[in-house]
């Protein structure tokens, strides 16, 4: 009787499954591989929580249907709440479980990937490795563990979703979609050993992160084999053929830590056990919110027996003390910008001036073209933090959008998405819609279509820029922006107002708020609206150029010193 071994169809999955097949064939059993596809393979999006578990559960469902007898998985992807009907037969001997930090080929001071794979003792602390990244670098990873740990060390970094097969991710790094990339050594090593990496991939710069300062994902590097619990095969005999006991014990210890924290394979938990010693790192539950506000997320670290691991307790963040002096009044709907600017001894007042309403009848029912290859799928464009928030609310209307890659106008928009669990795959450091359009035209081929959900008050720069360049863009009015009904706000003579959009400027005026002597704005459209608006004719208008938080910090310091602003 032939054993049918189910696997995903990616090159790495086939290599891992071949390792299982070789053991079966060497023992005299007849076996063959059955490539399978799951819903997790049908996504390019940055919301990993809706996809990763589907790799495992989608394959294991074929065990229960009788299509295959065994399935093979990367152990780190296996949920902690494995179905009772599924038996984990065991694990093959573990490959090195480290993470690699990869750089473009011209990165100085590091070994190439080829050289590092041949130098197994070359390890670097996480702090030293992250110091190789430039300020505000785009770091390619959709893993919440890697995101949280990296942002704990470098809160200036911006995670970018780089998904697909390992070779695809390496290509994205070479294309400049990210400044660096985090990947597991095990997968890279297996591909390299089977000549599945191109010379340009092996020429990338690489650092191996040590497992004490940067523990791996629970189970990383191990290959898990599953079977149906009611299988007619001799499962104990198969276990004896396939299982490496010390690997299985270490993986069980690591997954027990993960289960103790109530997390699955998507939790921000790192755990590595060797010689009965565990190195654990776990990020606080609210790490995304802290990152979105440019605060350093807390990470609890622990070393000791895996049986003695204590679940961490988290401190509440204290509210900043009140200050005296000029206030910064902002119409921004979150504190991200002012938190990132890190203004000292400044009282920041958030004044809501806009309300947003989804226009449910305007949303498409589907966004993924039927039977089209993933390279032909459209990119979803986020033109503002408000657009990011409304799109994520609108996923109930069109769940397909979560499967697409997302592109963001500016870091603030990308962080608004990240705070709500979605990592964008491209971020243009542009000031306005016209700049965003230019960045998209430069970075994407003519054949890439775009989807653009807009406000009813959206400026034309982004849409016109893409259409003028001959790009395929489908836009719809996704939400309505209206002035919030709030009581008028008095201001003091030395207060400064920060407005974030033309609609916020109009809403400030219509609500009857006082207008201070100094008003800050972002983008040409906001500046033009202020200069033309009758209520703001007696104000000094200052436009922030470049990265918003840095420009705000520079302006504020100059303002307090009485320096001229240009």
CA gap 51, 159 in Å, rounded: 18
Residue 330 near residue 349, CB atoms below 8 Å: yes
CA gap 151, 374 in Å, rounded: 30
Is 146 among the catalytic positions?
A: yes
Going by C-alpha positions, the residue among 315, 311, 245 that lies closest to residue 280 is 311
Active-site entry in 145, 190, 411, 506: 145
Active-site entry in 163, 172, 389, 506: 163
Active-site entry in 62, 94, 146, 389: 146
Residue 503 near residue 356, CB atoms below 8 Å: no
Active-site entry in 62, 94, 154, 169: 169
CA gap 36, 344 in Å, rounded: 56
CA gap 320, 298 in Å, rounded: 18
368 is written with which tokens?
Answer: 């993924």
CA gap 199, 220 in Å, rounded: 26
CA gap 427, 424 in Å, rounded: 7
39 is written with which tokens?
Answer: 């819903």
DSSP track, 440-471: HHHHS-TT--EEEEEETT--SHHHHHHHHTT-
In a 10 Å sphere around its CB, with 0-12 CB exposed, 13-18 middle and 19+ buried, how is residue 249 labelled? middle
Three-state secondary structure call for residue 525: helix
Active-site entry in 216, 265, 398, 521: 265
In a 10 Å sphere around its CB, with 0-12 CB exposed, 13-18 middle and 19+ buried, how is residue 80 labelled? middle
Polymer length of the chain: 566
Is 145 among the catalytic positions?
A: yes
Torsion, Cα of 439, 440, 444, 447 (10° steps): -150
36 is written with which tokens?
Answer: 């399978």
Residue 341 near residue 496, CB atoms below 8 Å: no
Is 398 among the catalytic positions?
A: no
CB contact burial 125-139 (16+ within 10 A = b; e otherwise): ebeebbebbeeebbb
What are the two backbone dihedrals, phi and then psi, of residue 32, each rounded to the nearest 5 degrees? -150, 160
Active-site entry in 41, 60, 62, 76: 76
Is 76 among the catalytic positions?
A: yes
Active-site entry in 47, 77, 179, 495: 77
Residue 409 near residue 436, CB atoms below 8 Å: yes
Is 163 among the catalytic positions?
A: yes
Is 169 among the catalytic positions?
A: yes
Mind telling me the catalytic residues?
76-77, 145-146, 163, 169, 265
């Amino acid at each position: 009787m032939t054993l049918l071994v189910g696997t995903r169809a990616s090159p790495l999955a086939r290599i891992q499954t071949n390792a299982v097949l070789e053991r079966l064939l060497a023992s005299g059993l007849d076996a063959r591989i059955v490539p399978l596809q799951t819903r997790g393979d049908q996504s390019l999006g940055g919301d990993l929580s809706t996809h990763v578990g589907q790799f495992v559960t989608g394959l294991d469902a074929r065990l229960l249907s009788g299509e295959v007898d065994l399935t093979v998985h990367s152990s780190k992807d296996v949920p902690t709440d494995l179905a009772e009907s599924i038996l984990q037969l065991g694990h093959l001997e573990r490959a090195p479980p480290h993470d690699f930090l990869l750089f473009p080929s011209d990165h100085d001071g590091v070994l190439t990937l080829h050289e590092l794979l041949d130098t197994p003792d070359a390890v670097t602390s996480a702090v030293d490795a992250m110091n190789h990244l430039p300020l505000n670098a785009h770091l390619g990873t959709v893993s919440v563990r890697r995101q949280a740990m990296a942002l704990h060390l470098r809160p200036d970094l911006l995670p970018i979703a780089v998904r697909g097969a390992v070779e695809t991710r390496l290509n994205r790094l070479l294309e400049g979609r990210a400044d660096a990339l985090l990947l597991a050594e095990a997968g890279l090593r297996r591909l390299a050993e089977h000549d599945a990496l191109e010379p340009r991939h092996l020429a990338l710069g690489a650092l191996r992160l040590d497992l004490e300062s940067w523990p791996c994902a629970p189970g990383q590097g191990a290959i898990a084999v599953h079977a149906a619990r009611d299988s007619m095969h001799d499962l104990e005999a198969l276990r004896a053929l396939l299982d490496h006991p010390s690997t299985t014990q270490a993986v069980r210890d690591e997954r027990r830590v993960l289960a103790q924290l109530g997390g699955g394979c998507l939790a921000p938990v790192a755990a590595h056990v060797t010689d009965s010693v565990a190195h654990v790192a776990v990020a606080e539950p609210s790490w995304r919110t802290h990152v979105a506000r440019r605060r350093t997320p807390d990470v609890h670290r622990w070393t000791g027996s895996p049986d003695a691991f204590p679940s961490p307790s988290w401190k509440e963040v204290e509210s900043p003390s009140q200050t005296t002096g000029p206030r910064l009044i902002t119409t921004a709907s979150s504190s991200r910008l002012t938190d990132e600017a890190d203004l000292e001894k400044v009282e920041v007042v958030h004044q809501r001036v806009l309300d947003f309403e989804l226009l449910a009848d305007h949303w498409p029912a589907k966004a993924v073209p039927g039977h089209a290859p993933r390279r032909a799928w459209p990119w979803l464009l986020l033109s503002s933090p408000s657009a990011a928030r409304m799109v994520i609310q609108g996923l109930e209307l069109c769940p397909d959008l979560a499967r697409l890659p997302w592109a963001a106008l500016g870091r603030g928009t990308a962080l608004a998405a990240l705070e709500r669990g979605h990592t964008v795959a491209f971020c243009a450091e542009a000031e306005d819609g016209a700049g965003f359009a230019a960045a998209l035209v430069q970075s994407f081929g003519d054949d890439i279509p775009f989807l653009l959900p807009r406000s009813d008050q959206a400026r034309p720069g982004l849409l016109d820029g893409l259409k003028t360049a001959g790009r395929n863009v489908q836009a719809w009015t996704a939400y309505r922006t209206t002035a919030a009904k709030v009581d008028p706000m008095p201001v003091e003579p030395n207060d400064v107002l920060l407005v974030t959009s033309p609609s916020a400027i109009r809403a400030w005026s219509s609500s009857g708020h006082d207008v201070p002597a100094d008003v800050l704005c972002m983008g040409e459209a906001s500046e033009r609206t202020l200069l033309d608006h009758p209520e703001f004719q007696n104000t000094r208008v200052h436009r922030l150029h470049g990265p918003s938080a840095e420009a705000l910090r520079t302006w504020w310091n100059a303002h307090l010193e009485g320096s001229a602003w240009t």
